[in-house]
Amino acid sequence: MELGSLAAWYFTDQLSAPLAADFARRVETLGYDALWLPEAVGRDPFAHAAWLLAGTERLRIATGIANIYARDANAMTAAHRTLAEQSGGRFILGLGVSHAPMVEDLRGHSYGKPVATMRAYLERMARAPYAAPPPAVEAPIVLAALGPRMLALAAEATRGAHPYNSTPEHTARAREIMGPDAWICTEQKVVLEPDPSRARAIARAGLGMYMELPNYRNNWQRLGFGESDLADGGSDRFIDAIVAWGDAKALRARVQEHLDAGATQVCIQPLGPADATGPDMAALEALAPAGG
């Protein structure tokens, strides 16, 4: 499977099912290679992926990410292979360990050591029985990976990594760790707004839910951001590094930085004002692949 260099990333739980299908078709028409979807407290990502795959023709649908604590390895394998078969190879399974508060407080599970837990889970998936017709082409698996040990596991045991809330500097470090062949499908938030005050306000609102999650904070600190950068919604230096904002030229420049640093695919998440309804299509249109 050859990936295109640009994908879209969006919380389609904000849309009704028909509107989500319309959005996926629009992303496909714009020429994006894939649409990445999260798993949080909304729709089942696999049922929703099936809906979107059925309504599109070429677009890949990817989970970014499916939480391994939400289902056992056998159930994950069944979902993975079912969608691979039904879509004719247009599904990508992104897996992640999520975050301790999301696993323990929300789901009531014990949060294990991330790398060891993921390694054991992948081994169980490899042994899981599956009695239905197999897909003609196995759907690739990628891992939500930020730290060096999870990035190394992603390169060793799966097709690659799906970093989130990171920077081009992180992409370069990931490429060094993972070698030349692994996929790096990195998410990048964008705000199509040239005014610094308005753009940073939108960026802070978009990052707000992540600021206290330990896996992200640990990665930001590895990237050189101190506690002062992560306090009070994030310093301007931090916001500008994590969220690209400005005109279309500035957004394209940030995407190109990731590609130059070694990203296989940049997954563009358009952020709009809090009172906006639906995705910022102007941003996706401005960054659409040539011919989209």
Segment among 131-135, 275-279, 280-284 with least mean pLDDT: 275-279
More confident residue, 164 or 107: 164
Confirm whether 28 is domain-assigned. Answer: yes
Q: Is residue 1 part of a domain?
A: no
Helix (H, G, I), strand (E, B) or coil at 192: strand
Residue 61 lies in a domain: yes
Angle between helical axes of 73-87 and 114-127 (0-180°, round to 10): 60
Handedness of CA 121, 127, 131, 135 (dihedral sign): positive
pLDDT band at 290 (very low <50, low <70, confident <90, very high): low
Report the distance separating Cα 286 and Cα 280, nearest Å: 10
- Give the predicted TM-score (pTM) of the model: 0.96
- Residue 98 has a pLDDT of 83
Average of per-residue pLDDT values in the chain: 95
Instruction: Flag whether 291 is in a domain.
Output: no
Task: Report yes or no on 13 lying in a domain.
Answer: yes
Domain count, the chain: 1
How far apart (Å, rounded) are the C-alpha atoms in residues 29 and 8?
A: 12
Residue 105: the pLDDT is 82
Instruction: Answer yes or no: is 292 within a domain.
Output: no
What would the pLDDT profile of 137-192 be if each residue is shown by its tens digit?
Answer: 889 999 999 999 999 999 999 999 999 999 999 999 999 999 999 999 999 999 99
Backbone region of residue 89 per phi and psi (left: phi > 0; alpha: psi in -120 to 50; beta: other values): left
Residue 240's pLDDT band, with cuts at 50, 70 and 90, is very high
Distance set, CA 130 to CA 30, 76, 88 (Å): 36, 11, 18
- Residue 150 lies inside a defined structural domain of this protein: yes
Output the domain CATH number for residue 35. 3.20.20.30
Where do the H-state alpha helices sit in the chain? Answer: 17-29, 45-54, 73-87, 100, 114-127, 148-157, 168-178, 196-207, 214-222, 227-230, 236-242, 248-261, 281-286
Amino acid 101: pLDDT: 77
How many C-beta atoms lie closer than 10 Å to residue 39's C-beta? 23
Residue 100 has pLDDT above 80, yes or no: no
Q: For residue 197, what are the domain limits?
A: 6-286
pLDDT class for 104, splitting at 50, 70, 90?
A: confident
Longest dimension (CA), the chain: 56
99 domain-assigned? yes
- At residue 32 the predicted structure's pLDDT band, cuts being 50, 70 and 90, is very high
pLDDT in tens, 181-220: 999 999 999 999 999 999 999 999 999 999 999 999 999 9
pLDDT value at 275 more than 90: no
What percentage of the chain reaches a pLDDT higher than 70? 99
